[in-house]
Amino acid sequence: MNRARAAFFAFLAVLMAASWAAPAAYYPDKPIRILVGFPAGSSPDIVARLLGQKLSDSMGKAVVVENVSGASGSLGAERVAKAPADGYTLALAVNAQIIFNPSLYKLSYDTAKDFAPVTQIGISSNVLVIPNGLAARNLQELLALARAQPGKLTFATAGNGTSPHLAAELLKAMGEVDLTHVPYKGVVSAIPDLVSGRVTMMFSPIATVLPFVRDGKLRALGVTSLQRSPALPGVPSLSESGLKGFEIVVWYGLLAPAGTPDAIVRKLHAETVQALAKAEVRAQLADVGVDVVGNSPEDFAAAIKTELPKWAKFIQASGIKPD
């Protein structure tokens, strides 16, 4: 009798192990959606479409990128947080959605608990750009203009609490200048007003404004990483331009809903890291100012846990309010 029971439980253990492995074995068997919380043409959209194509090629199923804009990316993140935990609805998120938004909005989800981090795809600097017709050739000349006209110079952003907004608030604090905020529904929608000179300046992910800088329609004054960006090697960092220690970057990460089977998370991680290892992918990302990371799910989760309280403190001290 005991032998029969032992055999039964051994069989049950094998059956359960097989059932746990089954999701990864058959995954994916239908199209995968990657939700981007920002408009088409934005830097997260560019990264998502590049990654989506490579995943589609390697996994043999369509990977469709869907833009769900609004509330600084929170609408897209919310849909992923509440989606079935089966690996077919993913988020290509940036730190604004996961790290900054909890300090600004009453969210219907918990960014620390409602996602299963897959990998941090890459990190990009923001870049400070101004209209080509503005009489400032460098950061110090821009700050001098701002000090001569307190409150008159304006800065565009992708909305309250986004990485470009926090970068501008850091500029105001460290540069001791008074600037007026003009929020837009995404960086892309602000570009026409910036090019025409209706707004004075903007921080933007490099990928979004790089074509305008290269065409001479915008002038890049400095990047927000401590080191220069390979995408703009002739542009100094703001730290080396007089604001020592100035640093705020954008990261791009792939997340699944919490509860997604670990086997599927691991498969997504392996496929993503494999795509990021390709020379052509690294070159394409570098061309738009993104440095590849490709860390483990555990390391990505640890980074989120560390950054949440750090930026909550900064946002509270800056007095930033939601739109």
pLDDT at residue 2 is higher than 70 = no
Q: What is the pLDDT of residue 10?
A: 52
User: pLDDT value at position 119?
Assistant: 98
pLDDT of residue 94 exceeding 80: yes
pTM over 0.85: no
Q: What percent of the chain has pLDDT over 70?
A: 92
pLDDT in tens, 216-265: 999 999 999 999 998 899 999 999 999 999 999 889 999 999 999 999 99
pLDDT score of 5: 55
- pLDDT score at 140: 97
Report domain extents, the chain.
30-123+250-318, 125-223
C-alpha pair distances (Å), 54 with each of 14, 117, 270? 35, 19, 12
pLDDT digits (tens, 9 = 90+) for 102-116: 998 889 999 999 999
Distance of CA 229 to CAs 189, 214, 249, 250, 305, Å? 24, 14, 11, 13, 27
Closest CA to 121 of 95, 96, 100, 97: 95
* Residue 36 token pair: 């981007």
**Residue 7 has what pLDDT?**
54
Instruction: Decide which of 205 and 28 is more confident.
Output: 28
Cα separations in angstroms, 224 against 126, 236, 237, 277: 5, 9, 6, 26
pLDDT at 8 over 60: no
Query: In the chain, what are the helix, strand and coil shares in percent, each to the nearest 5?
Result: 45, 20, 35
- Across the range 98-103, mean pLDDT stands at 92
Query: 277 — alpha (psi -120 to 50), left (phi > 0) or beta?
Result: alpha
Dist CA 258 CA 83 (whole Å): 9
The pair of three-digit structure tokens given for residue 150, joined into one six-digit string? 């307190």
Dump pLDDT digits (tens) for 29-39. 999 999 999 88
pLDDT score of 283: 93
CATH architecture of the domain with residue range 125-223: 3-Layer(aba) Sandwich (3.40)
pLDDT band at 15 (very low <50, low <70, confident <90, very high): very low
Q: What is the mean pLDDT of the chain?
A: 90
Q: Is the pLDDT of residue 269 over 90?
A: yes
As its CATH architecture, domain 30-123+250-318 has 3-Layer(aba) Sandwich (3.40)
- Residues constituting the chain: 323
Return the higher-pLDDT residue of 41 and 194: 194
